[in-house]
Amino acid sequence: ALVTGGDSGIGRAVCYYFSLEGATVVFTYVKGQEDRDAADALSLIKEVMSSDVKEPIAIPIDVRYEENCKQVVDEVINQFGCIDILVNNAAVQFYAESIEDVTADMLRQTFETNFFAYFFMARFALRHMKKGSSIINTTSVLAYQGRKDLLDYSCSKGAIVSFTRSLALQLIDRGIRVNGVAPGPIWTPLQVASLPVDQIVTLGSEVPYDRAGQPYEIAPAYVFLASNDCSSYITGQVIHPNGGTIINT
């Protein structure tokens, strides 16, 4: 399983659960910003990995750029020869109360990380993916609800939903499934680093569960969608682990 942004939060939990299920795990992280998290994630994966799988690998690279996405895929193919599961998960968000506060650089970085990287990772990985393989994209409840102070982030997550549905249709004849996961409010470093303190302390209070979720509560959805035993008739769909918020699409 190849997971972008696997060093912390939902990505780390996804790597952990795939390792529990016997998958060889490779993940990306941003060098210099997430080195300690990546080392911790590798240790966690190694604790639960099966004895008959290859060692997990952490690739320090920024997947915002097309050439970097190709480099990641090339490295995985050189090491392992194939890609069966691609999880597009890396993300950034910038809090801004007004559209006037969203700079061109913020907008560009948000879409490069949250959408362009997904597009290019899929493009390059698909050159090596065979029938039965799976792509899983992390979107968000905000793709459906919107949020006034995360304008560009919400827009990028909406793009992921459309990308997931359209690519799924394109790949049906190849027997490759494409699905998404749209988490609600989840305790991750991304939230703590980007939201005001008053919003952090009330995170999750708006959902029926009256609390934010934990990454380990979200990760099994990815394992389910990757499994041909469990979800062979599911493609172009989005699962909503969000604490009880009803999403009708």
Residue (of 38, 27, 16) closest to 218 by Cα position: 16
Q: CA–CA separation, 62 vs 113, rounded Å? A: 8
Count, in order, helices (H) and strands (E) of the chain. 11, 7
Burial of 71 (0-12, 13-18, 19+ CB in 10 A): middle
Residue 153 bears catalytic tag: yes
Are residues 88 and 118 in contact, defined by beta-carbon separation less than 8 angstroms?
yes
Task: Give me the torsion for CA of 13, 14, 18, 20, rounded to 10°.
Answer: 10
- Report the alpha-carbon distance of residue 243 to residue 241 in Å, rounded: 6
Q: In terms of Cα–Cα distance, which of 133, 107, 124 is closest to 61? A: 124
The single residue of 153, 209, 216, 222 carrying the catalytic annotation is: 153
Tokens 């290859």, residue located: 54
Would you say 92 and 190 are in contact if contact means Cβ atoms under 8 Å apart?
Answer: yes
Strand order across the beta sheet in which 57-60 lies = 57-60, 26-29, 2-3, 85-88, 134-138, 177-181, 238-239
Residues taking part in catalysis: 153
